[in-house]
Chains A and B, each alone.
Chain A
Amino acid sequence: MKTHWAEMKSAATSIWDLHCHLSGVPGDTPEGRLGHLIAYADRMGVERLCVFMGMEWHYDPTPEAFRLENDDVLRALRHFPDRALGFVYLNPKFPQQCLDELNRCVRDGPMVGVKLWVAEHCDAASLDPLVDRARELRVPVFQHTWLKITGNLPGESTPQELAALAARHPQTTFICSHSGGDWEVGLCAIRPHRNVFADLGGGDPVAGMTEMAVRELGADRVLYGSDIGGRSFASQLAKVYGAKISEPSKRMILGGNLRRILEPVLRAKGVRF
């Protein structure tokens, strides 16, 4: 018996994956790779995938490079409009080009969020214009964070830096990717800021992570994401399924919270969900 997403996509229960990539996935084209991901999503009962960054990644992309990465995602989205959503990848070192790309991909295109990776520490002032614009467009800012005892990349943000940014922009919705990596520290760093959500994805399925996130932030600030293709749906869904938390909390984490965050922009774009 196969798990069919269609059988379980009732609005209240369907699983939305916040954090998916086209890298680390077989396929020669963006749509080929996304189709591959969706085939596995079907097996795991995941209805929608938020996708960001292209076939080939750049730590510190030029505007041309991030536009090309976004083109990959736009192309993939066209093939699976009912299964995937896109976040626009930007490099804050290029403020004007970021605003232009936000307009191209979000205001005038189908994308519903912003993705920032490791080009610039996220407490830098250069982020302010794009964060303001994201708020105007009513989309969340998904910021990679990882607190590494092995040493961060030159532009790689910590959850503390995201907390500083969030304090400057209390009306913008932020998502703390990987819950800061070292999540016992990261969750506490973002805890005071109600406009910051925790992404569970991308780290090992260490038991207790989700319980701590729910305990410290409340289940309404915790989001399931996988970080596929680098990870598996299995290890990341297990963080929710295996957690000793209530069933309503699991439902919020697996999709309810993300739908709540994206509802304004999805409604504005006329996306049915």
Chain B
Amino acid sequence: MNRRGFILAGCGTSLAALTVQPVVAANPLSTVARRLIDSNVSLFRWPLRRMPLDETPRLLSTLRDHQVAEAWAGSFEGLLHKAQGSVNSRLTDECRRRGGGILRPVGSINPRLPDWEYELRRCALEHRMPGIRLHPNYHGYGLEDPAFERLLRVASDLGLWVQLALAMEDERMMHPLMRVLPVDPTPLSTVLKVVPKCRLLLVNALRTLRAKPLLELLSTGQVWVEISMLEGIGGLGTLLSQVRNDRVLFGSHAPLFYFESALLKLQESELTQKQLDAIVSGNASSLVKTSPLKHRHGHQ
């Protein structure tokens, strides 16, 4: 059975049984399943709600059920904690001790905090993280802030890719004391021009960033996007008819979102084998490989 058939048959089997637990593992191991890379998961507690998979072993168990080979894990603590050094140490430790060889820590950096460059170097050199995740809307700056450009520059010099989270949740149902508008991506195209080494993955982006502004960013060759907030009937097929096939990554936004949401998007749209391979892992691998310091990116 080819890889595409694998995923579809996996979902089909489980649909018939009315379960997707596990969608992919219902079949013998295949190369595609072994290489599934989830570019967007988070560890620890969402500040406003307990979730079924917010304990690392539970999240890991679901990722394993779905044959995820690697997941890039940020920390929910990075949204609000001021002690980012502590956040990043705890994340690294959790990935190392309980990550099952699957979870790779993605550090949180807030350029509004003093001496953030030290913390950034720590992410790269001490924690040996492959990348960092930014939350400008939770940290109180816009992308026109000179600190943002400086951050991209230093991160790129250190060989880190950067995840930029445009949102975390639907702004219509936020807690009244924690209303956070999505990040405005407009300044990005200008900033990226002056940091040509920067590799940027937009996460939780596709609710607010669409059409021409999205296409323009992806055409720079510096920007990738993941599918957790992609919506619309056959949304993935529609997106791939508009953008370069090498720009789109699998991302679940688990455990805040049900992991199965991203997975089922691969079934809803009719994708070519090449498209499927690229999304489930190929594009994530090439994002990592583009790193000038890729030799540091081994597993913890």
| Interaction A to B | yes
- A positions within 8 Å CB-CB of B: 1-3, 7-8, 13, 15, 24-25, 36-37, 40, 43-45, 146-150, 181-184, 203-208, 211, 228-235, 237-239, 241-244, 247, 250-251, 254
Whether A150 lies near B20 (C-beta < 8 A) is no
Q: For the complex, what is the distance from the CA of A197 to the CA of B248, rounded to whole Å?
A: 38
**Which residue of the partner chain A has the closest CB to B230?**
A232
Do A43 and B256 touch (CB < 8 A)? no
Q: A2, B8: Cβ atoms under 8 Å?
A: yes
Within 8 Å CB of A150, what residues of B? 171-172
Quick check: B231 and A232 within 8 Å, CB to CB?
yes
Report 5 cross-chain contacts, Cβ distance below 8 Å, ordered by A residue: A44-B267, A231-B232, A238-B20, A238-B260, A247-B19
B15 at the interface (CB under 8 A from A): yes
Q: In the bound complex, do residue A207 and residue B270 qualify as a contact, i.e. CB atoms below 8 Å apart?
A: no
With a cutoff of 8 Å between Cβ atoms, the chain A residues found around residue B23 in the complex are 241
Docked Cα-Cα span, A211 to B264, in Å, equals 19
CB–CB A232/B233 < 8 A? yes
- In the complex, are the beta carbons of A229 and B173 less than 8 A apart? no
Are B265 and A203 in contact (CB-based, < 8 A)? Answer: no
| CB of B255 closer than 8 Å to a CB of A | yes
Residues of A within 8 A of B170 (CB): 203-204
Could you say which of A2, A206, A233 has the most chain B C-beta atoms within 10 Å of its C-beta? A206
Pair B261/A181 contact, Cβ less than 8 Å: no
Complex interface: chain A residues within 8 A of B172 (CB): 146, 148-150, 181-182
- In the bound assembly, the distance between CA atoms of A37 and B14 in angstroms comes to 21
Query: Would you call B30 an interface residue if the criterion is a C-beta within 8 Å of the partner chain's C-beta atoms?
Result: no
Are B173 and A182 within 8 A (Cβ)?
yes
Supposing A44-B267, A237-B264, A254-B18 touch, asked if A207 and B12 sit within 8 A by C-beta, the answer is no
Given contacts A205-B258, A234-B264, A241-B264, contact A149 B173 (CB under 8 A): yes
State A211–B51 Cα separation when bound (angstroms): 10
One of A8, A146, A204, A241 near B20 (C-beta < 8 A): A241
Q: How far is the CA of A244 from the CA of B20 in the complex (A)?
A: 11
Q: What is the size category of the interface that chain B forms with chain A?
A: 35 or more
* Partner of B51 from A40, A204, A208 at Cβ < 8 Å: A208
Chain B residue numbers with a CB within 8 Å of A181 are 172-173
B233-288: which residues lie under 8 A (CB-CB) from chain A? 233-235, 254-265, 267-268, 270
CA distance A158 to B1 in the complex (A): 49
Alpha-carbon gap, A243 to B52, bound state (A): 8
Q: Tell me the smallest distance from the CB of B115 to a CB of chain A, in Å.
A: 35
Q: Which residues of B contact A250 (CB under 8 A)?
A: 18-19
| Complex Cα spacing A28 to B51, Å | 42
Chain A residues near B11 (CB-CB < 8 A): 3
For residue B285, give the distance in angstroms from its CB to the closest CB of chain A.
24
Residues of A within 8 A of B169 (CB): 204, 206
B residues less than 8 Å from A149 (CB atoms)? 171-176, 179
Q: Give the chain B neighbours of A1 by CB distance below 8 A.
A: 1, 5, 8-9, 12
Q: Which residues of A contact B233 (CB under 8 A)?
A: 24-25, 36-37, 40, 228-229, 232-233
Q: Roughly how many angstroms separate A238 CA and B265 CA in the complex, as a whole number?
A: 10
With a cutoff of 8 Å between Cβ atoms, the chain B residues found around residue A40 in the complex are: 233-234, 268
Closest Cβ–Cβ distance, residue B105 to chain A (whole Å): 21
Q: Which residues of A contact B52 (CB under 8 A)?
A: 207-208, 211, 243-244
B295 at the interface (CB under 8 A from A): no
Which residue of chain B is the closest to A146 with respect to CB atoms?
B172
Residues of A within 8 A of B259 (CB): 238, 242
- Chain B contacts of A147 at CB under 8 A? 173
Given contacts A150-B172, A181-B173, contact A230 B232 (CB under 8 A): yes
Residues of B1-28 contacting chain A, CB below 8 A: 1, 5, 8-9, 11-12, 14-21, 23
Could you say which of B18, B51, B235 has the most chain A C-beta atoms within 10 Å of its C-beta? Answer: B18
Q: Kindly state the separation between the CA atoms of A237 and B18 in the bound complex, as whole angstroms.
A: 10
Check if B212 is an interface residue, CB within 8 A of chain A: no
Note all chain A residues with C-beta closer than 8 A to B268.
40, 43-44, 232-234
CB distance from B55 to the nearest CB of A (A): 12
User: Which residue of B1, B173, B261, B270 contacts A205 across the interface (Cβ within 8 Å)?
Assistant: B261
A-chain residues with CB within 8 Å of residue B255 when the two chains form the complex: 207
C-alpha spacing A1/B10, complex, angstroms: 9
7 A-B pairs with least C-beta separation: A242-B258, A234-B264, A241-B20, A238-B261, A238-B260, A45-B15, A242-B260
CB distance from A69 to the nearest CB of B (A): 19
User: CB < 8 Å: which of B14, B21, B257 contacts A207?
Assistant: B257
Q: Is B193 an interface residue (CB 8 A)?
A: no
Does chain A have a CB within 8 A of B296? no
